[in-house]
Amino acid sequence: MKETPPKILIIDDEEAMRDSCSQVLKRMDIDVENAPNGEEGLEKIKAFEPHLVLLDLKMPGISGMQILEKLPDMDPFLIPVVITGYATVESAVEAMKHGAYDYLPKPFTPDELRMIVKRGLERRRYMVETERLQEEKKMMRKNFVSMVSHELKSPLAAVQQNLIVIIDGMAGEIPKKPKQMLKRASIRIKGLLTLINDWLNLSRMESGEMVQKMEPVDLKALLEELVELLHPLADEKNVTLRLNVPNEYPTILGEKETLQMLFTNLIHNGIKYNRENGRVLITLENENQMTRVSVKDTGVGIPKDKLPMIFDQFYRVKEVNSEPVEGSGLGLSIVKKIVDAHSGTIEVESELGEGTTFTVRLQ
């Protein structure tokens, strides 16, 4: 099947220029339309839908610069090439700032016109193909996330639930050794489910699916809920969990579910990597028209040279105080993306053997 010829619109107030350019382009098997001024040119862009426009800068009425400003909203893939008899370095720079792809000073030869048109059309093909591949990639990611969620997460959760039933003796007593083996299997499955959940959350964050609806969030109530939820884990680890909140504090604009995920991650890490009889202190306060939340623990700490990497995907600080490190390595990466999605900042300070403090600032 023969390809549809590319379409080019020439906008120039000189009839001789429009005619000469049309003759050259038609010999290249290009569909050509002309417009004698900016007003008609804008109308023809809507009707003709060209792939490339040859645009004179100096015209009565709407100027070439004004047209350049309107083109991105009309067609983001349209390639504008400026042609002008008033060629200066300043005008060329100005045209490029306004979105021109290239600049062709008058008079120019047919070969120069052919070369710049071929280059411009190739640029458009590249832009369209890149956009298509990006959309295809998004669709593949979305389908893959859905597949992982349904084909991996659901069956594993079912296996985990059955293992818990068996381990708890609800299906009858089992010998000690098989019970220990089932407990180890349950722990492994729990770790795998955590990895899958973290990966799904990260994928949704990267695709912009998780932070969509911003609304007023009461951070005090949110943090009080999380502290109550995580108290059993803190008690199990003999860690004191405390929340400090001022009498007056503002609500923030955010997405409650992801903010819960953010602070759950930080508080959970503060408990998990703490020492026996350690402490985790969560502080909420106002700071220069920002809301500041710090999570300070008395845990093992992070080496100074590792701090710049802790928000990287799958990165884990290994062998801290000779303790093996568990987890997916995605938790802090998710935390950072949630903070970024809320236009906030996050900082970390840490000393080996002394503890770590994460500070989040939100508007």
pLDDT tens figures, 177-192: 888 888 888 888 877 8
* 222 occurs within a structural domain: yes
The pLDDT-based confidence of 322 (bands split at 50, 70, 90) is very low
* 278 occurs within a structural domain: yes
pLDDT tens figures, 242-271: 999 877 777 788 888 889 989 999 999 999
> How many Cβ atoms from other residues are within 10 Å of residue 80's Cβ?
24
| Residue 340 and residue 223 in one domain | yes
Range of the domain at 242: 215-362
| Residue in the structure block whose two tokens are 């059309």 | 121
| Residue 242 and residue 353 in one domain | yes
Q: Among residues 108, 127, 147, which one ends one of the domains?
A: 108
Question: Which residue from 140, 356, 338 is spatially nearest to 347, judged by alpha carbons?
Answer: 356
pLDDT at 32 over 80: yes
DSSP class of residue 82? E
| Residue 54 and residue 141 in one domain | no
What are the residues whose beta carbons fall under 8 Å from the beta carbon of 221, sequence distance 6 or more? Answer: none
* 115 occurs within a structural domain: no
| Residue 145 and residue 82 in one domain | no
* Number of domains observed in the structure of the chain: 3
| Residue 196 and residue 95 in one domain | no
pLDDT at 47 over 90: yes
| Residue 230 and residue 197 in one domain | no
| Residue 229 and residue 354 in one domain | yes
Helical spans, DSSP H, in 5-88: 15-26, 38-48, 64-74
* 275 occurs within a structural domain: yes
What value does the mean pLDDT take over residues 75-103? 85
| Residue 257 and residue 357 in one domain | yes
Cα–Cα dist 357/158, whole Å: 37
Cα–Cα dist 258/108, whole Å: 58
Predicted pLDDT at 316: 66
| Residue 225 and residue 356 in one domain | yes
Q: Among residues 108, 123, 146, which one ends one of the domains?
A: 108
Q: Among residues 150, 184, 206, which one ends one of the domains?
A: 206
Predicted pLDDT at 210: 62
CA 94 to chain centre: 32
| Residue 168 and residue 231 in one domain | no
> Poorest-confidence range of 15-24, 253-262, 282-291, 324-333?
324-333
* 126 occurs within a structural domain: no
Record the tokens describing residue 59, joined without a space. Answer: 């015209």
* 258 occurs within a structural domain: yes
| Residue 222 and residue 358 in one domain | yes
The pLDDT-based confidence of 314 (bands split at 50, 70, 90) is low
Record the tokens describing residue 43, joined without a space. Answer: 């109308």
SS3 140: helix
- CA distances for 333 relative to 153, 204, 207, 324, angstroms: 21, 13, 14, 20
What are the residues whose beta carbons fall under 8 Å from the beta carbon of 355, sequence distance 6 or more? Answer: 274, 278, 296, 297, 298, 299, 301
- CATH code for position 284: 3.30.565.10
Predicted pLDDT at 327: 56
* 114 occurs within a structural domain: no
* 117 occurs within a structural domain: no
Q: Which helix (H) or strand (E) holds 297?
A: strand 290-297
pLDDT at 319 over 60: no
- CATH code for position 44: 3.40.50.2300
| Residue 253 and residue 330 in one domain | yes
